Structure 1
Amino acid sequence: MKIRLFFFAALLSTGLTGCDWFGNSPDFDDDFIPYTIRAGNHEAENTTAAIKISNAKKLDFQAIFDESARYETIDPGNKYDINKLMGFSDCNQHHHGASARLGWNWMEGEVRIYTYVYANGVRIPEKLMGVAQIGKIHRYKIEITEDSQGNSVYKFTMDDHVELVPRECTGGGILPSYRLFPYFGGDETAPHDIKIKVRFL
């Protein structure tokens, strides 16, 4: 009993509780969390119920793509569709109303990373952040901050590259902010199992 109490107290002292791992758990070989989007699906496994409610204004993480990031679409026109990496809903709205995410696709032999933002139900044109190397750790951040004119913006960072996207919150939503997980599509579902590993910072 004393050992259990000590262990629970140790978890609380580090700010880490079981709720932080509700859904996928870290792969203890390297402490990244593996997310798998199975062939024929849009959403990664074990994330639908793993809603992470947070009032934080920043999402900071590392991610690794493996060879499964290479794919071809059935409809050639869908190759331009942007898949989703990580992000969060905003402005007390559903994520198709207001959200900030990093997106990706396999384009011309490389994994391209983009901004992916909804504002007032309208998707804002994406900005190219850079190219993720297969098997390499890249660091990503999405922050709610202000630009030099004092306007609210999303600050996207991939390694050392930064892009600002305007943030607009209008209308009265009631939903708390929640984390958004890896997602394939677009119109099409994953053509094969796609694996992405994430470490939250």
Structure 2
Amino acid sequence: MKQHFFVLAALCFAACSKEPVLPANIPTDNPALPANSFTTFNIAKGNHYCDKTAVHVFSDSSMSVKVRFDSSCIYKTIDPGNQDDINKLVGFTEGNNNHLHSARFGWRWSDNALRLFAYSYAAGVRSSKEIATLAIGQEAKLRISLLPTEYVFAVDDTVVTLPRALRSGIANGYWQYPYFGGDEVAPHEIIIEIEEI
């Protein structure tokens, strides 16, 4: 009988596994950004948010992506004063509030060009700088790296920095994906392709 108990206990122990348990309300059906292939992000007419909104954890000292915009990214806002608003492209938060600590690339169509921006929040203070212009259909390599007091943004070989309030070497937060606005919603479907590299 004692032998049967030990065999049963060993079988039960071997059958146990420590699978991670995720909260039920967080969708996990789409990958963060699959490597070696572009993921298409669609922002429907009348929306701010893109079609891929599942939460994906970010924990790293840098992120690198390739991006490509098609002609759907040419737009005119209803209020001409909103044409200079910066749409959000891709980046990450540090913590769970993107208006407190985050680093993202932004973009807009203005003055007949697609413009890319560094865009960040450091202790709730928003900063932005234009980095480059892209032709429609042109691929660009984008990178954000952490320094103790700065975010370093690169578009191909052009580099700018923005202030950073946190000092850790790793950003622990969430990936951020395309968002249209500013104040206005997408005037028509917007299509952006992003690939993690």
TM tier, shorter chain? Answer: 0.7 to 0.9
Structure 2 distance, partners of 1:87, 1:163, is 15
CA distance in 2, matches of 1:24, 1:72: 32
What's the counterpart of residue 70 of structure 1?
A: 74
Secondary structure at the counterpart of residue 42 of structure 2: strand
Deviation sequence 1:9-56 (CA, Å, 0-9, x none): xxxxxxxxxxxx8426989xx821000000000010022xx2111211
Give aligned-pair identity as a percent.
37
SS in 1 for 2:81: helix
Correspondences of 1:140-179 after superposition (within 5 Å) = 140-145=142-147, 151-169=148-166, 176-179=172-175
**What residue is the counterpart of 2:102 in the other structure?**
99
Letter in 1 for 2:189: D
Using the alignment, how far apart are the partners of 1:188 and 1:120 within structure 2?
26
Distance 2:183 2:125 in 1: 17
SS of the residue corresponding to residue 57 of structure 2 reads coil
Contact 2:40-2:192 within 8 A present in 1 as well: yes
Two-structure CA RMSD over aligned residues (Å): 2.1
Separation in 1, partners of 2:37, 2:120: 29
Give the strand-richer structure, 1 or 2.
Answer: 2
Aligned to 1:4: none
Normalised by the size of structure 1, how large is the TM-score? 0.77
Would you say 1:115 and 2:155 are equivalent positions? no
Amino acid in structure 2 at the alignment position of 1:43:
Y
Equivalent residue letter for 1:156: F
Q: Say whether 1:40 aligns with 2:40.
A: no
Structure 1 CA distance for aligned equivalents of residues 176 and 98 of structure 2: 8
Q: CA deviation at 1:57?
A: 1.4
For structure 2, the 5+ residue unaligned runs are 1-27
Task: Assess if the C-alpha contact under 8 Å between 1:24 and 1:35 holds in 2.
Answer: no
Over 2 Å off, 4+ runs: 21-27
Report the number of matched residues: 166
Q: Aligned-pair distance for 1:176?
A: 4.6
Query: Conserved in 1, the CA contact under 8 Å of 2:149 and 2:166?
Result: no
TM-score by length of structure 2 reads: 0.79
Task: Rate the CA distance shift 1:136–1:162 in 2: closer, same or farther, 3 A.
Answer: same
Q: C-alpha distance in 1, partners of 2:58/2:107?
A: 24
